[in-house]
Amino acid sequence: MKNIFITVSVFMIFTCSFGQSVTNAFNDVIRVKENNLLKSSETAKSSVLERHRVWLNMTNTEGAFKQLLVGYIQGATNGYDSKFDGITLDKNPYIDFYSINLGKNLVIQGRALPFADFDTVPLGYRTSIAGEFTISIDEVDGLFSNHCVFLEDKLTSTIVDLKQSCYTFTTLTGVFNDRFVLRYTDRTLATDDFKAETDLVSIGVKNQLISINSASENIDKIFVYTISGEQLSNKQNIGDKQLIINDLPSAQQIVFVKVFLENGNSVTKKALFN
């Protein structure tokens, strides 16, 4: 497992050449070696790992290029995991592009399973070139093959589905760690019907018990997470409109309760557990 992510982290870190033949030759050698390592590691491990990954590129028309990976993988947490996370080397003289977690700039970030579509991942970049850049999806696998992947630009208040189109933006030179967010839901897409269904799912917390009630559809499964993404409870095949969860740790904390209904919709609510 460690070999896969270390290999991928090396594979992701390329420099843009801007026509410099020596740099191109060096990069070609590195790419060949790292592709071979990645291929051999993937063959040995892929059959036993659950993983859902998205690769993002940041490019411009002059040839600047940097890629990052965010993956939800068996055994990872939403903290820093040396087995899964790769810190950017920031060796590209023109741009760097990374996800951010616990103050670390990561070219590869492994996150916890099961995947929760309310999860968000801050993205940052550094550029010595002012002008237009484009963020796009290079590749996806796992559940992302059939799931939307959104990029939020907080500077322009824009949310773009990268599965439908890439996103081109203008930037000055510098380091920008507060502009972009990778996300999996678009808050502008909620319909009145979905809001009504959300209102029909209620969650109560009392005496270290969590009670979940659905006024319309039967509940299929329920996951409970801490604010850091750690899974506290996993209840499946419920087939009822009510469930009481009584096996959580006793510490007072904020939790997210994700409820999947039998009609395929899901509702996530935040609660103070005490």
Asked if pLDDT for residue 135 goes beyond 70, the answer is yes
The confidence score (pLDDT) of residue 122 equals 96
Average pLDDT over residues 220-233: 79
Q: For the chain, give the number of residues.
A: 274
pLDDT at residue 52, rounded to an integer: 94
Check if the beta carbon of residue 219 is closer than 8 Å to that of residue 241.
yes
Residue 95 and residue 129 in contact, taking contact as beta carbons nearer than 8 Å:
yes
pLDDT tens for each residue of 52-86: 999 999 999 999 999 999 999 999 999 999 999 99
Which contacts qualify for 15-24: CB closer than 8 Å, 24 or more apart?
A: 15/91, 15/92, 15/93, 15/94, 16/63, 16/64, 16/65, 16/66, 16/92, 16/94, 16/95, 17/63, 18/62, 18/63, 18/64, 18/94, 19/63
pLDDT band of residue 10 (cuts 50, 70, 90) is very low
pLDDT at position 186, please?
Answer: 80
Query: What pLDDT is stored for residue 19 in this prediction?
Result: 34
Range with the largest mean pLDDT of 13-22, 77-86, 217-226: 77-86
With bands split at pLDDT 50, 70 and 90, how would you rate the model's confidence at 269?
confident
Averaged pLDDT, 185-204: 64
Read off the pLDDT of residues 109-122 as tens digits, 9 standing for 90 and up: 999 998 888 899 99
Q: Is the pLDDT of residue 139 over 70?
A: yes
Q: For residue 38, what pLDDT band results from cuts at 50, 70 and 90?
A: very low
Average per-residue pLDDT for the chain = 79
35-49, 93-107, 111-125: lowest mean pLDDT where? 35-49
Mean pLDDT throughout 211-230?
A: 83
- Residue 228 binned pLDDT confidence (cut-offs 50, 70, 90): low
Cβ atoms 259, 268 nearer than 8 A: yes
**pLDDT at residue 101 greater than cutoff 70:** yes
The whole-number pLDDT of residue 30 equals 33
Between CA 84 and CA 202 the distance in angstroms is 36
Domains of the chain: 2-188 (no CATH), 190-273 (2.60.40.3080)
Please give the structure tokens belonging to residue 197: 């269904």
Tokens, residue 81: 């995991």
Question: 245: which residues sit within 8 A by CB, 6+ positions away?
Answer: 209, 210, 211, 212, 222, 224, 233, 235
**Whole-number Å distance between alpha carbons of 55 and 153:** 18
Predicted pLDDT at 39: 36
Which one has a higher pLDDT value, 209 or 104?
104
CA-based nearest residue to 8, from 141, 103, 101: 141
Instruction: Give the separation between CA 244 and CA 236, rounded to whole angstroms.
Output: 13
